[in-house]
Amino acid sequence: MSHPHPELDAPPPLTTDGLRIVALGGLGEIGRNMTVFEIAAAHGPNRLLVVDCGVLFPEEEQPGVDLILPDFDYIRGRLDDIEAIVLTHAHEDHIGAVPYLLRERADIPIVGSRLTLALVDAKLLEHRIRPVTRQVAEGDRMRFGPFDCEFFAVNHSIPDALAVALRTPAGLVLHTGDFKMDQLPLDGRLTDLGGFARLGAEGIDLLMSDSTNAEVGGFVTSERDIGPVIDDVFRTAEQRVIVACFASHIHRVQQVLDAAADSGRKVCFVGRSMVRNMGVATDLGYLRAPEGIMVEQKEIDDLPPEKVVLICTGSQGEPMSAMSRMANRDHQIRITRGDTVLLASSLIPGNENAVNRVINGLTRWGARVVHKGNALVHVSGHAPAGELLYVLNLTKPGNFLPIHGEWRHLRAHAALAELTGVPRDNVVIAEDGVVVDLVDGQVAITGAVPAGYVYVDGATVGEVTETSLKDRRILGEEGFISIVVAVDSTSGKIVARPEIHARGAGIVDEDFHDVVSRIQEVLEGAAADGINDVRQLRQLIRRTAGKWVSESYRRRPMIIPVVVEV
Q: Tens digits of per-residue pLDDT, 124-183?
A: 998 899 999 999 999 999 999 999 999 999 999 999 999 999 999 999 999 999 999 999
Q: 278: part of which helix (H) or strand (E)?
A: helix 272-284
Res. 103: pLDDT tops 90: yes
Which residues contact residue 422 at a Cβ distance below 8 angstroms, ignoring those fewer than 6 apart?
392, 397, 398, 399, 400
CA trace torsion 295, 300, 305, 308 (10° rounding): 20
Query: In b/e form, how buried is each residue of 381-410, taking b as 16+ CB within 10 angstroms?
Result: bbbbbebbbbbbebbbbbbbbbbbbbeebb
- How many helices (H) and strands (E) in the chain? 15, 25
* Alpha-carbon span 355 to 426, nearest angstrom: 40
| pLDDT value of residue 212 | 94
| pLDDT value of residue 2 | 41
pLDDT tens digit sequence for 381-416: 999 999 999 999 999 999 999 999 999 999 999 999
pLDDT tens digit sequence for 336-362: 999 999 988 766 666 677 788 888 989
Res. 465: pLDDT tops 90: no
Parallel/antiparallel/unpaired status of strands 266-269 and 340-343 = unpaired
Res. 245: pLDDT tops 70: yes
Across residues 12-16, what is the average pLDDT? 92
Using pLDDT thresholds of 50, 70 and 90, give the confidence band for residue 45: very high
Strand, coil or helix: 529: coil
| pLDDT value of residue 210 | 97
Res. 302: pLDDT tops 80: yes
Using pLDDT thresholds of 50, 70 and 90, give the confidence band for residue 496: confident
Strand, coil or helix: 79: helix
State the pTM of this model: 0.83
Helix axes 513-528 and 534-553, enclosed angle (nearest 10): 150
Which residues contact residue 419 at a Cβ distance below 8 angstroms, ignoring those fewer than 6 apart?
389
- Please report the domains of the chain, with CATH numbers, ordered by start residue: 19-218+380-458 (3.60.15.10), 223-370 (3.40.50.10710), 466-565 (3.10.20.580)
Highest mean pLDDT among 13-17, 48-52, 293-297: 48-52
CA-nearest of 139, 148, 367, 112 to 239 is 367
* Alpha-carbon span 143 to 344, nearest angstrom: 39
Cα within 13 Å of Cα(26), Cβ side: 31
User: Identity (one letter) of the amino acid at 402?
Assistant: P
Contact 193, 387 (CB under 8 A): no
pLDDT tens digit sequence for 508-549: 777 787 788 888 888 888 887 777 788 888 888 888 888 888
Parallel/antiparallel/unpaired status of strands 558-565 and 480-487 = parallel
Strand, coil or helix: 20: strand
Query: In b/e form, how buried is each residue of 159-197, taking b as 16+ CB within 10 angstroms?
Result: bbbbbbbbbbebbbbbbbbbbbbbeebbeebebbbebbe
CA-nearest of 48, 117, 28 to 410 is 28
